[in-house]
Amino acid sequence: MSQISPMKTDGSPRFRQIVEHLKQDIAEGVLPAHSALPSERAVAELYGVSRMTARRALEAMEAEGLAYSKQRKGRFVSPKRLKYDISNMVSFVADAQSGGTDLEIELVSRGKAKADRSLAPALAVTVGEELLEYTRLFRIKGHATFIETEYVIASRFPDLLTRDLRQSTTRLLEQHYRTSARSGDIVIRMRALQADEARLLGLAPHHAAIELEQVIRDKSGEAFCFGRQVWRGELAEFSAKAIVNG
């Protein structure tokens, strides 16, 4: 951390000035990725402001994606964004691992579920159809980055839940069930984290996030998997290819 300046009167709000100062420290490498930012109380003292003002500054850092907070541990500098090509259905997991990304998968839960009114149309099954459901937490370089919940049609993938789900499911389904992904429909939106998601990602609730839903289809065009990923929005960007109509 570089030293403070008085900078009383430059027009912009005090908390903005603090944000700019912290940004500078990050840009100059004084504060590298994943290093701790000064605490709310430390910022208050360093810059001679009240704790609420220090808090506003640090919350602005979060809102701008420059920092993330771990509950009651402190705030840390965000790393560079991860790129994710959504047009190419080759599994994100397989792709990342072959690209050398340090990716860990933690199985959070698994079980049976029944298709409800929102899932049934996506998978083209009747409401009440038995599904398998599993939720996994993905860490990149040890940092929780996104949560994925997938739903597959139970009758089509017997014993899936007894297998090791800490790997690419694309690969798993290919090897054991001769089902491979051919196309998908994807929806991306911004929304706030729910309490349980925030807990898994180690973030404060209500934090803005990116939700990515995808329906995965086989070569006959039949949907066999519905997945919902919740990403720490400041950590990723999504690329796609577009082609004129059809």
Partner DNA sequence: AAACCACACTGGTATATACCAAGAGATGGT
Partner DNA sequence: ACCATCTCTTGGTATATACCAGTGTGGTTT
Binding site for DNA (CB under 7 A): 13-16, 37, 39-42, 48-53, 55-56, 58, 69, 71-75, 204
Distance CA 64, CA 192 (A): 15
- Whole-Å CA distances, 7 to 18, 20, 195, 232: 10, 12, 39, 33
Distance CA 141, CA 154 (A): 33
The region, left, alpha or beta by phi > 0 then psi within -120 to 50, assigned to residue 72 is left
Binding partner of residue 229 among its own copies, DNA, none, CB cut-off 5 to 8 Å per kind: none
Binding partner of residue 122 among DNA, its own copies, none, CB cut-off 5 to 8 Å per kind: none
The stretch among 25-33, 40-48, 136-144, 201-209 that binds its own copies (CB under 8 A) is 201-209
Q: Which is nearer to DNA, 40 or 133 (CB)?
A: 40
Cβ of residue 88: shortest distance to its own copies, in angstroms? 5
27: contact with its own copies by CB under 8 A: no
Tokens of 52: 């609420």
CA terminus-to-terminus distance, the chain: 55
Binding partner of residue 89 among DNA, its own copies, none, CB cut-off 5 to 8 Å per kind: its own copies
Cβ of residue 42: shortest distance to DNA, in angstroms? 5
